[in-house]
Amino acid sequence: MTYKATNISFSYAGKKILNKASLEIQPGEIVTILGPNGCGKTTLIKILSAETKPDSGDVHIEDKKINKIKSAELAKMRSVVSQKTNMSFGFPVKEVVEMGMNPYDQKTTKESSSKIRKILEEYELEKFKNKNYLQLSAGEQQRVNIARSIVQLNQADTNQAKYLLMDEPTSSLDIHFQVKLAKNLKQLSNKNVGIGLVLHDINMALSISDRIVLFSSKKTVEFLEKPFWEKLPVSLSMLEQAFKSKFEVIRNQEKVFVTPSFKDVRS
């Protein structure tokens, strides 16, 4: 019962983007992908979501090959928050969020309306609900996209395995909404939703993840397992290699924080 990518290789314009990368997300697990720019994180999310076909390797959900699953069925099993949206013609916020119901082909019911209202409240979008999406700030648009993807998951049958893939969902969010999203993701994982996240914030990854997958620019993939506070000092060299930067580790009881070293900048 997993979301599994095995030995994924992918090249673009003659450049190897992914080299036999593998990843597994269990139901209820939060797996975060960390790595430098251009290492293939977004490509992996696109391959996991079936939007992009890999050159070699397979993706399975619940032992079914992803390209054998009908697109409408797939949309009930996983929802995706892309790094950026490319909307043309601005729809009102509420209509964009309601589009999350598309895979279910059902008319708006009291129950679905109340779910949508809750999500709009959760992400503080009530006051914008009739506003043109294109007139919102980048952060507000990101909240709308997150809300839409959660509506897509919430409509699904509770017995069905559900997965959420998010590519840099916090890139435009302020601290308040980053914390809100982190809480929300924990709640979803407690409801057995498997979550695959691409983040640049190492500390958020350490706080919410069950596992961290570290991509390096040399196309190698390493795994950081829990408890991070114990294992991170050992894995620090991996992080430093991946990001070509020095890090400092701050430990506070059972918590661990990582910060890039700005020593050179200060001097």
Partner 1 sequence: MLITSLIANLSIGAVDIEINEIISILKKSIGVTQGSSALTPNDVVLTSIRIPRILMGVIVGGSLAVCGCCLQALFRNPLADPGLIGVSAGASLGAVIGIYFNTFLIKISSIQASLIISFLAFIFGITISLLIFKISTKDGKPSVAKMLLCGIAANSLVGAIIAFFTYMSSDSKLRSIAMWGMGNLGESTWEKILICSLVCITCCFMLAKQAKLLNIFLLGESEAFNLGIKIEKLKKKIIIFTSLCVAVCVSFVGPIGFIGLVVPHAVRILIGPNLKSLIPFCFILGSILLTSADLVSRTISIPSEIPIGIITSIIGAPVFVYLLIREQDRVFQ
Stretch that binds partner 1, among 89-97, 119-127, 209-217, 226-234 (CB under 8 A): 89-97
- Give the span between the Cα atoms of 132 and 126, in whole angstroms: 13
Q: To 10 degrees, what angle do helices 175-190 and 138-154 make?
A: 10
What is the CA angle 109-183-178, rounded to 5?
105
Strand 30-34 relative to strand 194-198, pairing: parallel
Judge whether 21 and 47 are in contact, CB under 8 Å: no
Backbone angles phi, psi at 3, to 5 degrees: -110, 115
Residue 104 or residue 223: which is nearer to partner 1 going by CB?
104
Which member of 41, 46, 94, 162 binds partner 1 (CB under 8 A)?
46
Is 51 a binder of partner 1 (CB under 8 A)?
yes
Which member of 43, 82, 216, 235 binds partner 1 (CB under 8 A)?
82
Which residues contact residue 205 at a Cβ distance below 8 angstroms, ignoring those fewer than 6 apart?
32, 34, 197, 199, 212
Residue 71 or residue 267: which is nearer to partner 1 going by CB?
71
Which residues between 135 and 164 bind partner 1 (CB under 8 A)? 135, 152
Q: To 10 degrees, what angle do helices 138-154 and 110-122 make?
A: 150
Is 90 a binder of partner 1 (CB under 8 A)?
yes
Is 79 a binder of partner 1 (CB under 8 A)?
yes
Which member of 4, 27, 91, 179 binds partner 1 (CB under 8 A)?
91
Longest dimension (CA), the chain: 62
Backbone angles phi, psi at 94, to 5 degrees: -60, -40
Residue 26 or residue 82: which is nearer to partner 1 going by CB?
82
Judge whether 242 and 215 are in contact, CB under 8 Å: yes
Residue 51 or residue 126: which is nearer to partner 1 going by CB?
51
Which member of 96, 116, 125, 239 binds partner 1 (CB under 8 A)?
96
Is 72 a binder of partner 1 (CB under 8 A)?
yes
For every residue of 13-45, DSSP letters joined together read TTEEEEEEEEEEE-TT-EEEEE--TTSSHHHHH
Residue 95 or residue 174: which is nearer to partner 1 going by CB?
95
Residue 86 or residue 158: which is nearer to partner 1 going by CB?
86
Stretch that binds partner 1, among 117-125, 129-137, 232-240, 244-252 (CB under 8 A): 129-137
* Site size toward partner 1, by CB under 8 A: 31
- Residues in contact with partner 1 by CB under 8 A are 46, 49-51, 71-76, 79-80, 82, 85-92, 95-96, 99-100, 102-103, 132, 134-135, 152
